[in-house]
Amino acid sequence: MPTRRVAATWRCLGLAAMACWACADAPPVDLSGPVAGWPEYGATQGGGHDSALTQITRNNLDRLQVAWSYHTGDVATGPGAKSSFQATPILVEDTLYFCSPFNRVIALDAETGEERWTFDPGVEPDDLYLLTCRGVSAWKDAKRPEGGPCAERIFSGTLDARLIALDRASGKPCRDFGEGGQVDLTVGIGNTEPGEYGVSSPPAVIGDLVIIGTLVLDNLRADAPGGVVRAYDARDGQLHWAWDPIVEAVADSPADPPERYRRGTANAWSILSVDPERNLVFVPTGNAPPDYYGGERDGLDYFSSSVIALNASTGELVWRFQTVHHDLWDFDVPAQPTLFDFRADGAAIPALVQATKMGHLFFLNRATGEPIFPVEERPVPRGGVTGETLAPTQPFPARPPPLHPASLDPNDAFGFTPWDRGKCRDRIAALRHEGIFTPPSLQGSVLYPGPGGGSNWGSVAIDRERRLLIANTSRLPFSVRLIPRAEIDDAGGWDPAGLSPMHGTPYAVETKPLLSPLGVPCSPPPWGVLAAIDIESGEIRWEVPLGTTRDLAPFPFWFAAGVPNQGGPIVTASGLTFIAASTDNFLRAFDTLTGEELWKGRLPAGGQATPMTYRTRADARQFVVIAAGGHGTLGTTQGDSLVAFALE
């Protein structure tokens, strides 16, 4: 049997054996309660990461054990790009579908973890800077006979810019989709650098359309590929509409290959949401390139760092809400817009909440884009570099309060010892530090919140019964320094450690985590938290540190400080919040009402992904599944495991 088809490693067999011994006298698992799946990346088309399941409770968490694990075999740990296993599987009937960091699509038996099929699109990892795939999507063709070839399809985007349709039953390409089962997303984009343009997030599906954005690598050049969002016919792959994020249409430009879409616009690299009832698709956008200097944008960032609502049938703009004006901090909108109903004066308002890297949560009416809680335009620091024009104000939500501190000055410096704390104090003092939205400078500026968040692509979870929003945030400071082009040329080239060229601008940029000589963040702990927000009042109900330094620092520095994190939470109707995300290798369960940590299960690698949960039938167990493959950039333990927990 091939290695990657082994559903349970010897290690997991050992864990299962110990679990059986420990639970030999325990009563059988109570199989009462609802059955529920996980058909979308965010559980539903509008996100939410919530489940109606109740089998796993705070009273039986001590019996939660590894049920099975699966190894993809796709992991890159060498000197080039390092892989990040960030996928959240979806469940269709009794099968899990997900993608590996190399874009292989995999189908597993949801009860046993046994491999049913795999599809390899032939992506070349050596050509890529980023190695991750966060998920796939499913679609059923109502016009085809049940069970016929490609009557049900799995859609996946690739890091080399293809949209692929696979038969859900067999994993074989649907040859009637595009050219032999795939669509080339580079058509109309123009020239791209290797690894510069691709897809890392699952497509959105509404009706018979597949809607997809793309990622564009940061800080390479001002004329980066355009951030167009496109809708394709789910049957034949024909382009149905394209939304080009520019204020006015432009004619095709002469290029080889031809450019149909304007270059240098904001892309949509994260997860889209759809509202079938209102026929809307919600697009979170990144900031226009390059991240840290906007003097050459000339209005191309009108739609950047925004939530965009489009007509799902036509791609026409319905409304726009911008979370950052003229973004110079890589504060692009990273998370899936999360849809829910807001209760006010006995009525339900169709709402969405948008989490941001700044730790701001914007509550919007999803039909109109109007804020539900007031949003205030507040003055922010001025004094940018030559050639830059800064926005005089930025939008701040009045509620909820920010989930991230807004400033870092020398007196806030942290260190394990007086020596490294002093070094941090000196480093902060040498930088420009005027709070959030301090502009990038030649001197160097504190970037706090940092480009990793606050919130990121893991999104938030909403417990609709308890009326709570659960969000994890990171608090890792960075420094950002602009370097005049002539100084870089005199130095004879680029320093690969944190330096990016920003071609087409007068500056290069250096961005680095702001760390002490001992490798600890210079900001005070906790460096990562989990919080609950009342979704009607906007009040923070509780906030607790998330994770420990166990797998990053040597003993005895395994203290519960709260650590940087990537990934997101899920909630269940039994009142539990499950999350991994932190830099230690654990999946945790918290009490959703109180924030009390109730349980943690050891993972074989970093769990920098969002988990999911399901129960396929009335006589089955509830599973909680998490990708444990680490995060190449965050530096957590790398691996290739998909791990399923269930009651023993």
Strands of the sheet containing 95-99, edge to edge, are: 90-92, 95-99, 105-109, 115-119
* Helix or strand (DSSP H, E) at 18: helix 10-22
Angstrom distance (rounded) from CA 353 to CA 469: 9
- Dmax of the chain from CA atoms? 75
What amino acid is encoded at 321 in this protein? F
CA angle at 165 for the pair 161 and 171, rounded to the nearest 5°: 120
Cα–Cα distances in Å, from 392 out to 297, 384, 502, 625?
A: 17, 11, 24, 46
Sequence length of the chain is 648
Angstrom distance (rounded) from CA 570 to CA 458: 10
- Residue closest to 352 by CA, chosen among 340, 334, 335: 340
Contact 568, 336 (CB under 8 A): no
Angstrom distance (rounded) from CA 437 to CA 406: 9
CB-CB neighbours of 450 under 10 Å: 27
Q: How far apart are the first and last CA of the chain?
A: 27
Contact 574, 465 (CB under 8 A): no
Among all chains, which residue has been given the structure tokens 């690598």?
A: 217
Question: What is the set of active-site residues?
Answer: 330
Angstrom distance (rounded) from CA 566 to CA 84: 10
For residue 184 the two structure tokens come to 């080339």
For residue 116 the two structure tokens come to 């049913």
SS3 at position 36: strand
513-537 burial, b if ≥16 CB within 10 A, otherwise e?
A: bbbbeeebbbbebbbbbbbbbebee
Q: What is the 3-state secondary structure (H, E, C) of 461-524?
A: EEECCCCEEEEEEECCCEEEEEEEHHHHHHHCCCCCCCEECCECCCEEEEEEECECCCCCECCC
